[in-house]
Amino acid sequence: MKKEIILRKDVDLSRIWDLSSIYQNEEEFSKDVLKLEGLVLRMLESYKGKLTDSININLCLDDLKMVSELSGRLGSYRFLAVSADMTNNENQSKSMEISNVLSKANSKLSFIESEILENDEIVIKAAMDENEENRHFLSELLREKPHSLSSEGEKALATLSGVLYSPMTLYNKA
């Protein structure tokens, strides 16, 4: 019996991942990209420089959960398509595009943790008491406070995230 490696595009559809449970089509994907970008801009306007009380902190973290969910879905959709066939240049290109979108979103929102940590511990603990869902995130922030960077340092790292992960991307492609 001769064994042959076939290209992903030639594999029987019943044997490949069904990504339609994430997005039915490119139009749905594009709508979520726009939704993410709009949410990030709204968060910048609503929260940057205003995370000084427990109410704004919790509202911001609730929006950040939506950003995280969208980012996860968008990134997974592109990553799974690439990981199924590393030789597909179109999927590679689309993956890099979404990676850039997510990196920009992270960079724009990098102020959140730094601004929260600029508050007195009393304010952060009040936010923890007011919102059970955000309690763990905030307690982890407090735990990491002695090791945190300035807002500018966090933004620089967030901006460079695409570059910092490039060795793994190159490894996966190879």
- CATH code where residue 143 lies: 1.20.140.70
Q: For the chain, how many structural domains are there in total?
A: 1
Residue 110 in domain: yes
Residue 11 in domain: no
pTM metric for this prediction: 0.79
pLDDT value of position 172: 61
pLDDT value of position 5: 73
Residue 59 in domain: yes
Residue 115 in domain: yes
**Cα dihedral across residues 27, 28, 31, 37: positive or negative:** negative
Tens digits of per-residue pLDDT, 62-103? 999 999 999 999 999 999 988 877 788 898 999 999 999 999
Residue 156 in domain: yes
Give, in degrees to the nearest 5, the angle at Cα 31 between 30 and 34: 90
* Domain residue limits at 159: 24-173
Residue 18 in domain: no
Weakly modelled stretches of the chain, pLDDT under 50? none
